[in-house]
């Protein structure tokens, strides 16, 4: 049995209203603070200790990283850490069960781009042993945290500055992205 014209018109109007409503919602969604990613990184399948090649480890004066696991409350995490007691720095790469966007706007944070990936840079402990963290926008549900911490003062006893510590963090972030992202 054919539907009356009024029913067809009502169906078309309801469909148009739904499309208009959905389009309006899509336009109202906030813009991402990050550029489009060169490629998503599936952090559930990476080994954080693979963030540095053996040659990059040698350049830093560190051996193979020390792996670890844990739970951050929002899910599991894997971490790899390297220490160089001669140059006074600790390095780490950690998978995160949350996207990098959750740290946008936190105190002492700024948004940067490293090798095409959005990164939230956060600093802490500037009065003692400066720490610089990069939260990488690896995928929609997950992030990667790269950290460098000064573990010693300068030879003259002064505190290392954030420019130096964050410069080392940017280099480590670039190396981690090159070594952990999908080939292609």
Range of the domain at 24: 1-30
Same domain, 71 and 117: yes
Same domain, 104 and 73: yes
Using one digit for the tens of pLDDT, what is the confidence trace for 114-133?
999 999 999 998 889 999 99
**Token couple for 178:** 């090159």
Using one digit for the tens of pLDDT, what is the confidence trace for 64-95?
999 999 998 889 999 999 999 898 999 999 99
**pLDDT average, residue stretch 48-68:** 96
**Token couple for 132:** 């610089």
Strand order in the sheet with 89-96: 66-71, 76-84, 89-96, 143-150, 131-136, 117-124, 109-114
Decide if 36 is inside a domain.
no
Same domain, 145 and 81: yes
Reported residue count of the chain is 184
End-to-end CA distance of the chain: 56
Cα gap 54→32, rounded to integer Å: 35
- Structural domain count, the chain: 2
């Amino acid at each position: 049995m054919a539907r009356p014209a009024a029913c067809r018109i009502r169906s078309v109007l309801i469909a148009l209203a739904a499309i208009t409503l959905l389009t309006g919602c899509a336009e109202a969604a906030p813009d991402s603070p990050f550029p489009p990613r060169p490629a998503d990184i599936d952090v559930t399948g990476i080994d954080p200790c693979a963030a540095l090649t053996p040659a990059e480890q040698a350049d830093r004066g560190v051996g193979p990283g020390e792996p670890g696991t844990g739970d951050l409350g929002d899910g599991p995490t894997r971490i790899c850490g390297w220490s160089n007691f001669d140059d006074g720095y600790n390095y780490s790469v950690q998978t995160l069960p949350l996207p990098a966007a959750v740290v946008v706007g936190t105190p002492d944070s700024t948004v940067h781009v490293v090798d095409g990936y959005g990164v939230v840079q956060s600093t802490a402990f500037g009065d003692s042993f400066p720490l610089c963290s990069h939260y990488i926008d690896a995928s929609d549900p997950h992030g990667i945290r790269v950290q460098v911490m000064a573990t010693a003062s300068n030879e003259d006893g002064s505190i290392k500055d954030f420019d130096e510590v964050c410069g080392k963090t940017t280099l480590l972030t670039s190396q981690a992205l090159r070594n952990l992202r999908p080939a292609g």
